[in-house]
A = this chain, B = another copy of it.
Amino acid sequence: MGKDKVRIGIIGAGRIGKIHADNLLRNPHAEIVGISDLFAGPELEAWASSRGIPVVTTNSSELISMPNVDAVLICSSTDTHVPLIEQAAQAGKHIFCEKPVSMDLTQTQAAVAAVQKAGVKLQIGFNRRFDHNFRRIRTHVQDGTIGDPHIIKITSRDPSPPPAEYIRVSGGIFMDMMIHDFDMARYLSGSEVEEVYAQGNVLINPVFAEHGDVDTAIVTMTFANGAIGVIDNSRQAVYGYDQRVEVFGSKGSAAAANDHPNTAEISTAAGLMRDKPLHFFLERYNEAYVQETALFIDAIIHDTPVIVDGHDAVQAERIALAAKMSMERGRPVKLSEVPGVSLESQTATP
């Protein structure tokens, strides 16, 4: 860009929007020039004022069209993502958008096409790619330490289910929760998923059944490079956020265990005890959130590809839709069965 500072507008002042804002405030190469939220009011104004963010508005279009905005972070609800991406792309603004882009693959593809046409950058909020543990596993795969990948295993369990009102609009466990793992599967394997088979059940709370959803699921995958894989999800691991991966290959295996708040081990007559893993995504992926926006800023300043782009969004959504179809139909589903057009990646990954 010929500049060393990117001017940012943040759309959506919910929890994740504010986290990104606070992270960017510490980034010497970012400047937050405004924040928009449908429910912006005195509270948000006070919050913005204490951080020196000059503009607060209820109108995201206003923020997008501000000439001193170089890039926007879309942190609003999922149903707003596609129109906001298209609007920002047309305005020539770089875009960071939380996952998923939409529940409708055709719309997601349309948004990505708009981005490609406009020649702006689009980074998707698959924050786990920026995690210290998973990046290290990926390095070990890429440098050949473990040889050709044969088996990919991902465990991803939340400490407690979301509220019922969220479950209703979440898009279901595959689109809302396992989509992170589908992206991780592509990231770790360095290959594309070709077929999935999904099993699920309602074992935690009947509310999931009321919305045609499940709370416990296992999905197996075949990859283009011949590897096979499996993801397991639970909406409620009472011992906390369980985030582990393993890539097994011809020369060995690379596995990441959970992170813990401390290493203290207590030995008593009752046995040996440790504290539970870091509680949930805000604690667990704290540094990953810092990294993902920092690298988004870097990619803009140096005009390099983003680490996770529109193609990655489309592929993860496509896998999620295939998983949903698989569970509904009780049979494996090929990704080619999921309607949608092919799109090329801007990145070298996976």
Contacts and interface: CB of A to CB of B under 8 A. Distances in A.
Interface of A: 26, 28, 50, 132-133, 135-137, 140, 145-146, 148, 150-151, 153, 155, 157, 197, 199-201, 203-204, 216-218, 220, 222, 226-230, 232, 234, 236-240, 242, 248, 250-259, 261-276, 330-332
Contact of A257 (B226, B254, B263, B332): B263
B274 A252 contact: no
B197 A239 contact: no
Contacts of A255: 264-265, 267
Contact of A237 (B26, B238, B248, B330): B248
Given A269-B251, A276-B271, A264 B136 contact: yes
17 contacts: A135-B262, A136-B262, A136-B275, A150-B234, A151-B232, A157-B248, A199-B228, A201-B228, A218-B228, A239-B253, A242-B267, A251-B269, A254-B266, A257-B263, A257-B265, A258-B263, A259-B263
B256 A239 contact: no
A332 B262 contact: no
Contacts of A251: 238, 268-269
Contacts of A237: 248, 253, 267
One complex includes copies of this chain to the number of 4
- The listed residue with most B CB atoms (<10 A of its CB), out of A220, A251, A264, is A264
A50 B28 contact: yes
Closest 9 CB pairs of A and B: A252-B268, A239-B267, A136-B264, A257-B263, A272-B274, A136-B262, A238-B269, A253-B267, A132-B262
B264 A140 contact: yes
A264 B254 contact: yes
Contacts of A140: 264, 266
Given A28-B50, A145-B268, A272-B273, 6 more contacts: A137-B264, A151-B234, A197-B197, A204-B250, A230-B232, A255-B265
Nearest to A137: B264
A296 to B, nearest CB: 21
Contacts of A242: 253, 267
Given A133-B264, A258-B263, A150 B272 contact: no
Contacts of A145: 266, 268
B252 A256 contact: no
Nearest to A243: B263
Contacts of A26: 26
Contact of A262 (B28, B151, B250, B256): B256
A220 B248 contact: no
B261 A132 contact: yes
A281 B331 CA distance: 35
